[in-house]
Amino acid sequence: MRTYINPDKNVWSDILKRPLFDVSELYGKVQTILTEIRKNGDTALREFTEKFDGIKLDSIVVSEKEITDAEKQVSADLKEAIALAAKNIEVFHASQQSKINKIETVPGVSCWQKAVAIEKVGLYIPGGTAPLFSTVLMLAIPAQIAGCKQIVLCSPPDKTGKIHPAILYAAKVAGVTQIYKLGGVQAIGAMAYGTETVPQTYKIFGPGNQYVMAAKQLVSMNDVSIDMPAGPSEVLVVANETSNTAFVASDLLSQAEHGADSQVVLVANNSATIESVQAEIATQLATLPRKEMAEKALSNSVFIVIEDTKEQIDLINEYAPEHLILSTKNYSDISEKITNAGSVFLGELTPESAGDYASGTNHTLPTNGWARSYSGVNLDSFIKKITFQEITKQGLLTIGPAIEKMATAEELVAHKNAVTLRLKEIQ
């Protein structure tokens, strides 16, 4: 753990650097796999699944029987928890639906937008160190609310050729239409290009390792859109003398256990708070099953003392954290001034875990500073907006001459003629 006391602004970017990876060979390897999938379809999918997941599958399609069997394996308590989370996610995302607002820019010129669902979306759900069934809810529920006709889910099989039962159950609850036993680059390639078995989708969502992220970026250049650029998960927690340091430590550890490349940042207005949090981390860390992974993330963690509240806000907005937790009594003094963050958690009773699972907000969020320009996944992520315009005789008489002058100035004569011919007809 690295600790800094009132560091100058000119070193903030160095202090807060995200973990770096050597990707010099990564994109070439991923592109080779994608090219093979585009060329050989299902045959390539089966070969890469055997190579990377260690299982030879007769079929990559998840059958109805497998979904039924999986449902039986999920405990009643977990089903109840999933139901609560699903309801809250549905309520929050349904509230984001927009109404058509038809306006007249001038008399006789009407303009409006219509929200239309993306017809086919692909969801990638990791199944490696943790089966992220919660991400199924976060992605499939807004897709269903938006009205997507095909919701395709891919998740890697285990060594027995199965997908974790909680993932399959969540998929059923959330309205997924098709499920495939595909992981890694082969899943992204299948959903981007389509194969004999897997339908091509128009937009791909979901987290993954660096190979999955590289595949998403490569296919997004020419073939399909993606939710957002992404990197390892991260949290920035703000604490002070009013904070419950045990709560703060638990928030930092909940992020650290995601993976060794997760980034954990604590900003406090005094050294005593940081020392207390560090002691709590040591106590809580000892009991964690994923202790070793969390320790690796914590080895790159950053603890910063910044006494001035305005400077704290400046640092937060410069860093643009995926998750921002204001674990202080005076959180409102800071929250309204935040301009760059994926999701903000206010007060000591609002842990990141709430947003990760059951409060209703979405946990698929921009990382690596992309919160400066990207939103997290929301209902709009699954729709496109088409503009309409309708012009009457009065409207064309009003704006037609301006169009003619502008087209002439740009030397686009055909554009001018399209208006001139109509004006001659109606005058």
Cβ(107)–Cβ(77) below 8 Å? no
Q: Which residues are annotated as a binding site?
A: 124, 186, 209, 233, 255, 258, 323, 356, 410, 415
Q: Which residues are annotated as a binding site for NAD(+)?
A: 124, 186, 209
> Tokens 């914590």, residue?
298
DSSP designation for 61: B
Q: Are 266 and 3 in contact (CB under 8 A)?
A: no
Is 26-99+117-226's fold the same as 231-375's?
Answer: yes
> Largest Cα–Cα distance in the chain?
84
Which pLDDT belongs to residue 129?
66
Rg, Å, the chain Cα set: 25
d(CA 122, CA 219): 13
**Which CATH superfamily, name and number, covers 26-99+117-226?**
Nitrogenase molybdenum iron protein domain (3.40.50.1980)
Query: How much is the pLDDT for 260?
Result: 83
Inter-CA distances, 46 with 78, 286, 332, Å: 32, 41, 53
The span from the CA of 188 to the CA of 185, in Å, is 5
Q: At 129, list the tokens.
A: 């160190």
Residue set of the binding site for substrate: 233, 255, 258, 323, 356, 410, 415
Exposed (0-12), middle (13-18) or buried (19+): which is 55, by Cβ within 10 Å?
A: middle
- Write down the pLDDT at residue 232: 87
pTM for the predicted model, two decimal places: 0.94
Per-residue DSSP letters for 258-275? T-TT-EEEEEESSHHHHH
Q: Give the pLDDT score at 49.
A: 97
The question of whether 404 is a catalytic residue gets the answer: no
Strand 103-106 to 109-117 pairing:
antiparallel
**Identified catalytic residue from 164, 323, 348, 363:** 323
Backbone angle region of 347, left / alpha / beta, with phi > 0 → left and psi within -120 to 50 → alpha: left
Instruction: From the candidates 36, 280, 322, 352, give the one annotated as an active-site residue.
Output: 322
At position 208, the amino acid (one-letter code) is: G
- Which superfamily does 231-375 belong to? Nitrogenase molybdenum iron protein domain (3.40.50.1980)
Residue ranges of domains in the chain = 26-99+117-226, 231-375, 392-426
Per-residue pLDDT tens listing for the chain (427 residues)? 799 999 999 999 999 998 776 777 899 999 999 999 999 999 999 999 999 999 999 999 999 999 999 999 999 999 999 999 999 999 999 999 989 999 999 999 999 999 999 999 999 999 866 789 999 999 999 999 999 999 999 999 999 999 999 999 999 999 999 999 999 999 999 999 999 999 999 999 999 989 999 999 999 999 999 999 888 899 999 999 999 999 999 999 999 998 888 899 999 999 999 999 999 999 999 999 999 999 999 988 999 999 999 999 999 999 999 999 999 999 998 999 999 999 999 999 999 999 999 999 999 999 999 999 999 999 999 999 999 999 999 999 999 999 999 999 999 999 999 999 999 999 8
| pLDDT, position 19 | 74
Helix (H) or strand (E) holding 115: strand 109-117
Alpha helix stretches (DSSP H) within 147-259: 165-174, 184-193, 210-219, 245-256
Note if 323 is an active site residue: yes
